[in-house]
């Protein structure tokens, strides 16, 4: 039995010599390499690598199209190729369970080159000189349609096979599927068979990062983005440098960001750097949760009733901030409740698991905006009550910022493309509102963009024309990717004091960190960890 979860680097092309790629994988920290022969295509290159002295243990995979592979030849040719490559002793052979069951002839051919249960499966015992070493057999099942409800029974069936290592890979519709896979993986820890269990796609990324926490035999990675053998595979560098792979263990607490989509979020960079700096045994991962309330509730209900997953705190981003508030309200008294600040905002961007097992909802967006504005000398020079602030947008971020500004005594006017939302927000928080078309005529010392206009990839958009920007105004753009939006570039050129969204992002993230960990956030560490294209 392996003592730790291994890192397997999948290779899908021979455009760069395979030996060079294997050495690069070894240097990056991979423990073994998967040769996706069906994708590589160049059999002579694969054979050449297998005939050379071994650099790392290799997994030979010739995946059929029915289970997500790129093999285009006949099934007889594929099985013959697996047998031929297996005779070169790569270390591991991955064969689909459906292929294994198909015929006794196939089982005999594969059995000739593989250890089977009861004959050293899962071990690497010493061989006598001249003894033909056999490969460890990985029997796998891939579901391209989704994640079935009967994960346990499928794994039970695989566990009854003669494979020393069993593998299931499902397609995650969202992070709730990932949680179900992780729960089953946790229950299999220490079983007689080594288990690989993962969910493919953006919704399943957490299964790849948390494989080490729950005792998987391995997790699949790639050397470079764009070379993925399956959707959702992280790079080795990301696993190590962003997620702190070596620090993850059974007791590691899990944090993360809930959104849809969520792959673009920079929060994992910031929070994982802070966790490492403070020596906290935690990891922060992305959770892609379906955009409707039902999707959010299904995910949170699962997390709440499965405390063994170790989820202790969550950031909430679009489109789930109002969903989080509704979920907390509907789960009372099981939920710890909602802070007055979040109640005023009408949205929750932070969920924290309390010591009694209940969930608390808070909102740190407004605090982040106030912290960001403190970096502008013109704002600091006056009392907040003297500040007239124009806020563009009426969504969750805008609500939080307006609530914080009104509490500070600022005179706030809301402009929004849907006038009914602007009017409702102004009525609830006791501020002014004006039609969207009048935003170019705003009067005030501070202008804050809370819309998505200018956010990557639509970087050429801007919420106001350049001509509407007046020298002396403080302009804060809540968008933090890119670091300098078109709005900020124009504002700087016209003599405005500009505040990037990165300052607000770090401010709200720091407040989240303090809520979860009950200690001051290492703000400078968080700021340095934010990627250059975001801050």
CA distance 11 to 18: 8
- Mean pLDDT across the stretch 375-387? 73
pLDDT in tens, 157-173: 999 999 999 999 999 99
Asked if 299 and 397 sit in the same domain, the reply is: no
Are 435 and 457 in contact by the 8 Å Cβ rule? The answer is no
pLDDT higher than threshold 60 for residue 431: yes
What's the pLDDT score for residue 272?
98
Look up 134 and say whether it is catalytic: no
pLDDT higher than threshold 70 for residue 326: yes
Catalytic residue among 38, 177, 365, 477: 365
pLDDT higher than threshold 80 for residue 534: no
What's the pLDDT score for residue 121?
37
Catalytic residue among 141, 142, 173, 271: 142
Asked if 355 and 479 sit in the same domain, the reply is: no
What's the pLDDT score for residue 222?
98
pLDDT higher than threshold 80 for residue 332: no
The percentage of residues in the chain with a pLDDT greater than 70, rounded to a whole number, is 94
In a domain, 264, yes or no: yes
pLDDT in tens, 193-226: 999 999 999 999 999 999 999 999 999 999 999 9
Look up 365 and say whether it is catalytic: yes
- Mean pLDDT across the stretch 395-399? 88
Asked if 80 and 189 sit in the same domain, the reply is: yes
- Mean pLDDT across the stretch 235-243? 98
Q: Which of the listed residues 249, 266, 293 is the one where a domain comes to its end?
A: 249
Look up 142 and say whether it is catalytic: yes
What's the pLDDT score for residue 375?
83
Q: Is 196 helix (H, G, I), strand (E, B) or coil?
A: strand
Look up the CATH number of the domain holding residue 270.
Answer: 3.40.50.10860
Q: Model confidence at 324, in pLDDT bands (50, 70, 90)?
A: very high
What's the pLDDT score for residue 380?
65
Asked if 351 and 374 sit in the same domain, the reply is: no
- Mean pLDDT across the stretch 369-397? 84
Residue 111: exposure state from Cβ atoms within 10 A (0-12, 13-18, ≥19): middle
Other Cβ atoms closer than 10 A to 470: 16
Asked if 129 and 229 sit in the same domain, the reply is: yes
pLDDT higher than threshold 70 for residue 448: yes
Angle formed by the axes of helices 321-330 and 293-305, nearest 10°: 50
Asked if 168 and 303 sit in the same domain, the reply is: no
Are 354 and 450 in contact by the 8 Å Cβ rule? The answer is no
What's the pLDDT score for residue 253?
98
pLDDT in tens, 26-59: 999 999 999 999 999 999 999 999 999 999 999 9
Asked if 457 and 323 sit in the same domain, the reply is: no
Asked if 296 and 179 sit in the same domain, the reply is: no
Residue 212: exposure state from Cβ atoms within 10 A (0-12, 13-18, ≥19): buried
pLDDT in tens, 111-143: 999 999 753 333 333 333 444 568 999 999 999
What's the pLDDT score for residue 335?
63
What's the pLDDT score for residue 333?
64
Catalytic residue among 167, 269, 320, 517: 167
What's the pLDDT score for residue 126?
37
Residue 377: exposure state from Cβ atoms within 10 A (0-12, 13-18, ≥19): exposed
Are 198 and 181 in contact by the 8 Å Cβ rule? The answer is yes
- Domain span at residue 302 reads 257-363
pLDDT in tens, 275-315: 999 999 999 999 999 999 999 999 999 999 999 999 999 99
Asked if 222 and 73 sit in the same domain, the reply is: yes
Dihedral class, residue 5 (left if φ above 0, else alpha if ψ from -120 to 50, else beta): beta
What's the pLDDT score for residue 334?
62
In a domain, 525, yes or no: no
Give the distance between the most distant pair of CA atoms in the chain.
87
Q: What are phi and psi of 146, to 5 degrees?
A: 170, -160
Catalytic residue among 173, 269, 320, 321: 321
Q: Which of the listed residues 338, 363, 388 is the one where a domain comes to its end?
A: 363
In a domain, 439, yes or no: yes
Asked if 230 and 335 sit in the same domain, the reply is: no
The percentage of residues in the chain with a pLDDT greater than 90, rounded to a whole number, is 87
- Mean pLDDT across the stretch 343-366? 93
Look up the CATH number of the domain holding residue 402.
Answer: 3.40.50.720
Asked if 238 and 339 sit in the same domain, the reply is: no
What's the pLDDT score for residue 258?
98
In a domain, 483, yes or no: yes
Q: Which of the listed residues 249, 280, 310 is the one where a domain comes to its end?
A: 249
In a domain, 281, yes or no: yes
Angle formed by the axes of helices 75-86 and 104-113, nearest 10°: 20
Least confident of 330-334, 412-416, 485-489, 492-496: 330-334
pLDDT higher than threshold 60 for residue 87: yes
Q: What's the structural domain count of the chain?
A: 3
Are 79 and 99 in contact by the 8 Å Cβ rule? The answer is yes
- Mean pLDDT across the stretch 4-22? 97
Look up 240 and say whether it is catalytic: no
Which residue has better confidence, 386 or 424?
Answer: 424
What's the pLDDT score for residue 264?
87
For residue 227, how far is the Cα from the chain centroid?
18
Asked if 62 and 172 sit in the same domain, the reply is: yes
What's the pLDDT score for residue 456?
85
pLDDT higher than threshold 50 for residue 360: yes
In a domain, 529, yes or no: no
pLDDT in tens, 457-492: 899 999 999 999 999 999 999 998 888 999 999 999
What's the pLDDT score for residue 130?
44
Which residue has better confidence, 379 or 427?
Answer: 427
Q: Model confidence at 443, in pLDDT bands (50, 70, 90)?
A: confident
In a domain, 295, yes or no: yes
In a domain, 498, yes or no: yes
């Amino acid at each position: 039995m392996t003592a730790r979860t291994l890192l397997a680097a999948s290779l899908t092309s021979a455009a760069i010599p395979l030996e060079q790629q294997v050495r690069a994988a070894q240097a990056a920290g991979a423990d073994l390499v998967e040769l996706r022969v069906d994708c590589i295509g160049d059999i002579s290159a694969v054979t050449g690598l297998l005939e050379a002295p071994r650099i790392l243990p290799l997994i030979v995979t010739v995946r059929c199209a029915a289970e997500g592979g790129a093999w285009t030849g006949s099934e007889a040719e594929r099985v013959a190729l697996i047998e031929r490559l297996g005779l070169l002793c790569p270390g591991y052979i991955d064969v689909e369970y459906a292929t294994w069951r198909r015929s006794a002839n196939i089982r005999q051919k594969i059995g000739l080159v593989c250890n089977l249960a009861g004959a050293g499966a899962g071990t690497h015992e010493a061989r006598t000189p001249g003894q033909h070493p056999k490969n460890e057999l990985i029997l796998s099942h891939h579901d391209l349609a989704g994640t079935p409800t009967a994960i346990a029974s499928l794994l039970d069936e695989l566990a009854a096979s003669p494979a020393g290592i069993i593998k299931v890979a499902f397609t995650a519709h969202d992070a709730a599927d990932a949680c179900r896979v992780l729960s089953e993986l946790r229950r299999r820890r220490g079983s007689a068979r080594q288990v690989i269990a993962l969910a493919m796609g953006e919704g399943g990324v957490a299964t790849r990062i948390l494989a080490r926490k729950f005792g998987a035999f391995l997790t699949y990675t790639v050397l470079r983005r764009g070379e993925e053998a399956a959707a959702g595979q992280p790079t080795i560098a990301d696993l190590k440098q962003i997620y702190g792979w070596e620090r993850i263990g059974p007791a590691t607490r899990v944090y993360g960001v809930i959104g849809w989509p969520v792959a673009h979020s920079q929060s994992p960079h910031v929070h994982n750097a802070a966790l490492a700096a403070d020596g906290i045994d935690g990891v922060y991962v992305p959770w892609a949760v379906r955009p409707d309330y039902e999707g959010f509730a299904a995910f949170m209900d699962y997390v709440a009733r499965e405390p063994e997953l170790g989820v202790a705190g969550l950031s909430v981003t679009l489109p789930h901030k109002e969903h989080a508030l509704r979920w907390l309200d509907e789960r009372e008294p099981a939920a710890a409740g909602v802070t007055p600040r979040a109640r005023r905002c009408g949205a929750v961007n932070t969920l924290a698991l309390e010591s009694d097992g209940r969930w608390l909802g808070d909102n740190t967006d407004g605090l982040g905006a106030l912290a960001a504005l403190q970096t502008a000398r013109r704002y600091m020079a006056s009392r907040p009550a003297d500040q007239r602030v124009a806020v563009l947008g009426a969504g969750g971020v805008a609500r939080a910022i307006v609530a914080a500004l009104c509490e500070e005594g600022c005179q706030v006017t809301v402009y929004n493309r849907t006038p009914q939302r602007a009017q409702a927000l102004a009525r609830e928080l006791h501020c002014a509102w004006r039609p969207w078309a009048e935003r170019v005529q705003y009067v005030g010392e501070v202008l804050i963009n809370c819309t998505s206009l200018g956010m990557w990839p639509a970087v050429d958009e801007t919420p106001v024309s350049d001509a509407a920007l007046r020298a002396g105004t403080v302009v804060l753009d809540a968008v933090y990717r890119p670091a300098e939006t078109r709005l900020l570039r124009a504002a700087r050129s016209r003599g405005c004091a500009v505040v990037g969204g990165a300052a607000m992002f770090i401010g709200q993230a720091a407040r989240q960190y303090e809520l979860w960990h009950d200690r001051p956030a290492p703000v400078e560490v968080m700021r340095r960890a934010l990627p250059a294209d975001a801050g």
